[in-house]
């Protein structure tokens, strides 16, 4: 049976990571609701790029960036300090 030698859970650091993740994703999602004509309710024209699709792509890049940063800090044994 393999030996489990994981890191100790630091609740404060975990709370910062979760808060930063939710805050950043929520901030990007709010872009769909601002302006005089929010594009969350805009159907768009056939054949054109949907603004909602671009928003989802932007959220995916943000999610990938945050996840990669946490993985690299874990791999290199550096302390994760969200800014």
Cα 2 from chain centre: 33
For the segment 4-28, what is each residue's pLDDT rounded down to a tens digit?
555 676 788 778 878 888 888 888 8
Segment 27-54 mean pLDDT? 77
Q: Is the pTM of this model over 0.85?
A: no
Cα dihedral sign, 70-72-73-75: positive
Residue 43 lies in a domain: yes
Contact 18, 70 (CB under 8 A): no
Q: Can you spell out the DSSP letters for 7-62? A: PPP-HHHHHHHHHHHHHHHHHHHGGGG-SSS-TTS----TTSPPHHHHHHHHHHHH
Task: pLDDT band for 2, please (50, 70, 90 cuts).
Answer: low
Does residue 34 form part of some domain?
Answer: yes
Helices 11-29 + 51-75 axis angle, to 10:
160
Is 61 a domain residue?
Answer: yes
Into how many domains does the chain fold? Answer: 1
Segments forming the whole domain that contains residue 19: 11-75
Q: Does residue 81 fall inside a structural domain?
A: no
In a domain, 48, yes or no: yes
């Amino acid at each position: 049976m393999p030996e489990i030698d994981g890191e100790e859970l630091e609740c404060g650091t975990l709370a910062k990571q979760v808060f930063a993740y939710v805050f950043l994703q929520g901030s990007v999602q709010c872009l769909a609701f601002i302006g005089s004509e929010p594009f969350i309710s805009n159907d768009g024209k056939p054949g054109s790029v949907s603004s909602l699709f671009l928003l989802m792509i932007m959220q995916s890049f943000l999610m990938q960036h945050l996840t990669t940063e946490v993985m690299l800090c874990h791999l290199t044994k550096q302390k994760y300090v969200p800014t």
